[in-house]
A = this chain, B = another copy of it.
């Protein structure tokens, strides 16, 4: 849980506090050398104008558990994650929580927001991000249609993923949810080059439960079930090794399960 750390935006807003968090201003973290650029929307930026992007970015970093922003705050920034991992979530007034997504390096963070943030975002590990003032990034979109096109594609993908999640939340059993979770996470981490057989879970059981619409206990029990069935092995450091690819994909029941991937 959040350790009552103040959200970044508050720390910085209009106050004159020492800027503890941003690590560098324009030019300090040149986009040209960015490791996640090929996968991020920045890849759509024409190389010769990359400096314009670098000129409006601020690099920020968060420690585990630190909120980036809270639902309902004025949405002043967009972000691109360069390292670490965050969760985004919505709360009900009595504390029930739905984690609506996990955000990883190269992901764009800021869609779905209007005047205010539509959800809260909190770092799960030490996290690095590029921060853009909204107006400035949007002006950039005007100037570089390729960038806007790319953002639309990202929104499209997220929309498709959201519908997949609705199917999961509305109609899948606990076992299917966990299986889908593992295969989907495996697919996204392998997109960034890592093995698909070993999935690292930077989030707690509670977060997984709140993501899948289950209780912590059910998540835990279901992991044990999958373990006893020989489908996964639970390894140290929050790693899960997928032992039986076919079975877990069958359980996950995503259309692409039949691909046997």
Chain A positions near chain B (C-beta within 8 angstroms): 71-72, 90, 92-93, 96-98, 100-101, 111-114, 118-119, 141-142, 145, 148-149, 151-152, 155-160, 162-167, 169-172, 210-213, 253, 255
Contact = CB atoms under 8 A, between A and B. Distances in A.
23 contacts: A92-B167, A92-B171, A92-B253, A98-B166, A100-B163, A100-B167, A111-B155, A111-B159, A112-B163, A114-B157, A118-B160, A141-B149, A142-B145, A145-B145, A148-B152, A152-B155, A155-B155, A155-B156, A159-B159, A159-B162, A166-B169, A169-B169, A170-B212
Given A98-B163, A112-B162, A151-B152, 6 more contacts: A97-B171, A113-B160, A145-B148, A155-B156, A165-B166, A166-B169
Given A145-B142, A152-B151, A159 B98 contact: no
B213 A169 contact: yes
A171 to B, nearest CB: 4
A215 to B, nearest CB: 11
Contacts of A213: 169-171
A145 B213 CA distance: 39
A112 B165 contact: no
